[in-house]
Structure 1
Amino acid sequence: MSEFLKLLKGGNKSSLTAAIVNTIIAIIKTGAFFFTGNVAMFAEMMHSIGDAANQFFVYIGSALSKKAPTPRFPNGFGRLINLVCLGAVLIVGILSYETIKEGWHQIQHPTTSTGVAISLTVLGLGILLESAVFYKAGKEILHENGIKGSFLGPITTSFAYINRAKPATKLVFMEDLVATSGGILAFTAILISHYTGFLQAEGIASIIIGLMMFYVVGKVFLDNARGALGETDEQMLVHIAHIVSENIHVKDIKELEVIKEGEFLHVNLVVEIDPTLLFAEVDDIHDVLKELILNQQSVTDVTIAFDEDDGIKKWKHHKDKKTTLKTPD
């Protein structure tokens, strides 16, 4: 139990914050829905319940993924976060279906809801809280990539680096982006329904919110399915190939693999060097390359092997701003 609690301290902070905030929002929205019977509020209630459950699962998964390798699991638990995310999106998928179904029912059989002031107040509070979590997740994405953005960076620049975010941070960012957008949509639908009498507006908003939730389900599912299988990080592969090739003793790169293991990267490298070098010199080259690669973002494990230079340059790499990453100072 003590080990479990210790691991929890290393869990993804963005997902924990999001889980707590969304739990509070879900409770408030649930009360508002039962008091008003508002369909748009029902959609937002389901959305917040799904996000809260999702993010609690992800927080626990991100913590457990940092567990050290054991004799039974020598490769570690890095991919556990991907498996947890896969399970978590199933919850959101079920709630998405219920949200769309309720919205369709409202369109076919529109009903008037009460307590408009309560609904708007609750939704307004939810928008503020969810946008704050969204901003924090965006800030975390920039931090994970070593980017110092402006005040608006977390809601602008962060989109350019979302694919390099940790799985848990990326999930929180996407869910709260949709949650904030859904809250604004529900708020607008209630206003339209109240002031124009177009009661179907709430049903339409509910369906759109459900579809946005399904989008997150699909996106997160595909990302984590690739992670669970062991996906190559192409951008980091090109970057590592570039910095390794700059070493004067490396004549060619024979093999290079950069495999994602949850939040971490494992690197397997085979380089060609001068066969006349002494063992002590090769050992020094190994240490230099290993330290260099381990200093790269998210790299936790490096395996390096050497082969004699055959005089034929086979590895091709390029220095592209889109694929060459910033080396930490």
Structure 2
Amino acid sequence: MKELFVLLKQGNKSALMAAIVNAVIAILRGTAFFFTGNVAMFAETMHAIGDAANQFFVFIGSALSKKTPTKRFPNGFGRLVNLVLLGAVIVVAIMSYETIKEGVHHVLHPTEAEGFFIVVGVLLAGVILESMVLAKAMKEVIHETHVEAKGLGILVQSIKNVGKATPATKLVFMEDLVATGGGLLALLAVLLSKWTGQHVLEGIASVLIGLMMLFVVGKVFIDNAAGVLGEADDEMEKKIGHILIQDPEVKDIRNITVMKEGETLHVEVEVELEASITIEEADVIKERLAGQVMGQKGVADVLIEFSKDDGEVDWKMHYT
């Protein structure tokens, strides 16, 4: 039990914050839907429930993935976060289906909902809370990708670099970006429905929100399926290769592989040295190179092998 609490302290804080906020939003929206019957509110309630459950799973998965390797699982638990996220998307998929189904029903049989001011107030409060979580996720993306940005630059750079963030942070960012947009869409639909009398707009908004949720489901599934199978990090391969090729003793890099294991990276590299290098000198070089690689963010371990310089250039990335 003590180990579990220690692991939970290492869980993704953005995911935990998002789970709590979305749980509160789900309660508020669910209560408002119960009293008003507003279909746009129903869509956003389903959205908040799905996000809260998903992000809670993300927090748990990100924490457990940091468990140290055991004899039974010598490669560690890095991919556990990907497995948890694959399970979590099922929850969102179910909520997406219910949201679309209810929206279609309202499009075919539009009715006027009650409690206009309650609905507007709850939706507006939800948008504000969601945007706060989204801002937190944006800053987390900036922090994890080592990008400097201020003001509106945080928005631009976080969208640009979200693909390089950890799986947990990426999911929170995507879900809250869609959630904030969905809240604004629902709010706009309620206002236009009231002003124009076209109550079918709320049903259309519900369908669109459901489709936005399905987009997140598809994106998260593809990303984490790749993580479970084992995905190479091409950008980190290039970065580590660039570092190693600068060493005066390294003549060439025959092969380099950087595999993602959840939030950690495992590096294997084969470098070429002069044939005259002694075993003692090779040990010193290996220790030096390993230290440089281990100094990179996210690297959990590195395996370095040496080969005799064959006079041919194998590592092309250095020259492009």
**1:50-99 deviation per Cα after TM superposition (whole angstroms, max 9, x unaligned):** 00000000000000000000000000000000000100011000100100
**1:218-271 deviation per Cα after TM superposition (whole angstroms, max 9, x unaligned):** 001000000000000111111111111111111111111000000111000111
**Alignment map for 1:136-151 (pairs within 5 Å):** 136-151=136-151
Query: What is the TM-score with the length of structure 2 in the denominator?
Result: 0.98
2:138·2:155 contact (CA, 8 Å) conserved in 1?
yes
Residues 1:21 and 2:21 are matched in the alignment: yes
Which letter maps to 2:212? M
- Alignment-derived partner of residue 307 in structure 2: 307
2:147·2:157 contact (CA, 8 Å) conserved in 1?
no
Q: Which moved more, 1:231-240 or 1:100-109?
A: 231-240
Give the distance between the partners of 1:64 and 1:149, measured in 2 at CA.
Answer: 31
Give the distance between the partners of 1:268 and 1:254, measured in 2 at CA.
Answer: 11
- Alignment-derived partner of residue 212 in structure 2: 212
SS at match of 1:78: coil
Which letter maps to 1:192? L
- Alignment-derived partner of residue 63 in structure 1: 63
| 1:154 CA drift (Å) | 3.0
Which letter maps to 2:60? I
| 1:7 CA drift (Å) | 0.3
- Alignment-derived partner of residue 50 in structure 1: 50
1:137·1:154 contact (CA, 8 Å) conserved in 2?
no
Which letter maps to 2:148? K
Q: Which moved more, 1:46-55 or 1:239-248?
A: 239-248
In terms of fraction of residues, the more helix-rich structure is 2
| 1:189 CA drift (Å) | 0.3
Give the distance between the partners of 1:160 and 1:288, measured in 2 at CA.
Answer: 34
Give the distance between the partners of 1:84 and 1:312, measured in 2 at CA.
Answer: 45
Which letter maps to 1:265? L
Residues 1:94 and 2:94 are matched in the alignment: yes
How many pairs were matched up? Answer: 320
- Alignment-derived partner of residue 272 in structure 1: 272
Give the distance between the partners of 2:96 and 2:17, measured in 1 at CA.
Answer: 23
**1:281-313 deviation per Cα after TM superposition (whole angstroms, max 9, x unaligned):** 111111111111111121111111111111222
| 1:151 CA drift (Å) | 2.2
Moved segments of 4+, more than 3 Å: none
**Alignment map for 1:96-111 (pairs within 5 Å):** 96-111=96-111
Give the distance between the partners of 2:148 and 2:132, measured in 1 at CA.
Answer: 19
Q: Which moved more, 1:275-284 or 1:169-178?
A: 275-284
| 1:319 CA drift (Å) | 6.7
SS at match of 1:303: strand
Shift of the 69–275 alpha-carbon distance from structure 1 to 2, 3 Å rule, reads same
CA-atom RMSD, angstroms? 1.0
Question: Which runs of no fewer than 5 residues in structure 1 stay unpaired?
Answer: 321-329
Shift of the 204–319 alpha-carbon distance from structure 1 to 2, 3 Å rule, reads farther
SS at match of 1:156: helix
- Alignment-derived partner of residue 187 in structure 2: 187
Question: Which runs of no fewer than 5 residues in structure 2 stay unpaired?
Answer: none
Which letter maps to 2:89? V
- Alignment-derived partner of residue 296 in structure 1: 296
SS at match of 2:88: helix
**Alignment map for 1:105-124 (pairs within 5 Å):** 105-124=105-124
SS at match of 1:76: coil
- Alignment-derived partner of residue 134 in structure 1: 134
SS at match of 2:69: coil
Residues 1:77 and 2:81 are matched in the alignment: no
Which letter maps to 1:144? E
SS at match of 1:260: strand
- Alignment-derived partner of residue 154 in structure 2: 154
- Alignment-derived partner of residue 167 in structure 1: 167
Give the distance between the partners of 1:17 and 1:153, measured in 2 at CA.
Answer: 23
| 1:153 CA drift (Å) | 3.1
Which letter maps to 2:283? D
Give the distance between the partners of 1:251 and 1:188, measured in 2 at CA.
Answer: 62
- Alignment-derived partner of residue 178 in structure 2: 178
SS at match of 1:265: strand
SS at match of 1:304: strand
